[in-house]
Amino acid sequence: MSVRSRRLVGGGLTAATGAAAALAIGLLAVILWDVGRGGWARLSWEFLVSAPREGMTEGGIFPAIYGTALMTLLMTVAVLPVGVLTAVYLHEYAPPASRLAGLVRAAVTNLAGVPSIVFGLFGLGFFIQFVGRAMDRALNGGELRFGQPALIWAALTLAVLTLPVVIVSTEEALRAVPRDLRDASLALGATRSQTVARVVLPGALPGILTGAILAVARGAGEVAPILFTGVAYFLPDLPRTPWSQFMHLGYHTYVLATQSPDVEATRPILYATVLVLLVLTFALNGVALVIRSRTRGRAASAS
């Protein structure tokens, strides 16, 4: 090839890859612009703090925000200890080249790849049909109370789904804690568990927080796993116990978008709901990103 044609081909290919990158970012911009434009007008304080009225064509989305927050909180309480301890095992306790650790890692990778709808089936088959029914037989004389869709089952299902997120980011955070600190602590006579609890985990706290926030962002946006495990389209009351059903921003979006009797009337509310959901997930992801980049900077300067 002549120098000129090599330049031309090279320029063309570089431009093509640049165009692909621009396309991806452009589509992101289009989505944000469309949702922002469509949702901004309807968004108000009133919208955030009031309940839906007139068959979802009036009022706000407070119960959906409340349900999402409550479910995510329960999920975090369930997933955080398990995820953090698993990462502690993988990074602090497991011997190098441990078979068991390899198996745990493979399981976590696979768990991360299981389709979200399968988690929904799992929640229904395991938590509701198996655990819930067993609790009914044991505690409630066989009457149906626990063995039906509920806030707690949805939260636990999502806890299983977000487990890999927490494990992966906690392990990354543990890796960033310098070895010297562990050695110093052990040399001073601290036991392994004391070193982990008082030196390693405090040092890894920002990274663990990042993992928790990423899990919350993921959990708040997932709809498929909660379809059969606890979400409801409309409830007159806020959920009072973990055994109540709940409303959810993502499910609210789905219902408004697909099952509205009057598309034009619900459109502004639909857009505003999507805007709230997007702002929520982006804010959470953004916070996680900031914490992560700050800790990475610190780890780099420390070593």
Partner 1 sequence: MLAPRPAPRSSRVPDALVRPAAGAVSPESAIRRRQMREAAIEGVVTLVALTGIAAVALIFVFVGREALPILTDPSVHAEASFSRMFLPQVVREGRPAAFLWQPVSAVPKLSMIPLFVGTLKVTAVALALAVPVGIAAALFTSEFAPRRLRELLKPGIEMLAGIPSVVLGFFGLMVLATWLQSAFGFSSRLNAVVAGVAMALAVVPVVFTVSEDALTAVPRSYREASLALGATRWETAFKVVLPAAAPGVLAAVVLGFGRCIGETMIVLMASGNAAITSWTFGDSVRTLSATIAAEMGEVVFGGAHYAVLFFIGVELFLFTFVLNGVAAAFMRRLVRKMSGAAA
Going by the DSSP 8-state scheme, the letter that residue 246 receives in this structure is B
As to burial, measured by CB atoms within 10 angstroms (0-12 exposed, 13-18 middle, 19+ buried), residue 230 is buried
Interface with partner 1 in residues 215-274 (CB under 8 A): 217, 220-224, 227-228, 250-251, 253-254, 257-258, 270, 274
* Sites for partner 1 among residues 268-287 (CB under 8 A): 270, 274, 277-278, 281-282, 285
| Ordered alpha helix ranges (H), 91-132 | 99-113, 116-122
Most distant CA pair in the chain: distance in Å? 86
Residue placing its CB nearer to partner 1 in the complex, 74 or 128: 128
Q: How far is the CB of 85 from partner 1 (least distance, A)?
A: 4
Q: How many CA atoms lie within 13 A of 223 on its CB side?
A: 13
Confirm or reject binding of residue 183 to partner 1 (CB under 8 A). no
Q: Kindly tell me which of 121 and 238 has the beta carbon lying closer to partner 1.
A: 121
Which of 5, 16, 54, 95 contacts partner 1 by CB under 8 A? 16
- Residues 125 and 156: beta-carbon distance below 8 Å: no
Q: Which residue, 240 or 293, has its beta carbon nearer to partner 1?
A: 293
Give the tokens for residue 242: 């973990």
Taking the C-alpha atoms of residue 303 and residue 297, their distance in angstroms, rounded to an integer, is 10
DSSP states along 119-179:
HHHHIIIIIIIIIIHHHHHHHSTT-SSSSS--HHHHHHHHHHHHHHHHHHHHHHHHHHS-H
Based on CB atoms, which residue is closest to partner 1, 240 or 264? 264
Residue 138 binds partner 1, judged by CB under 8 A: no
Map the footprint of partner 1 across residues 92-111, applying CB under 8 A. Answer: 93-94, 100-101, 103-104, 106-111
Nearer to partner 1 among residue 47 and residue 119 (C-beta): 119
Q: Minimum Å distance from CB 45 to partner 1?
A: 23
The residue among 113 and 261 lying less far from partner 1, judged by its C-beta, is: 113
Question: Which member of 70, 90, 152, 168 binds partner 1 (CB under 8 A)?
Answer: 90
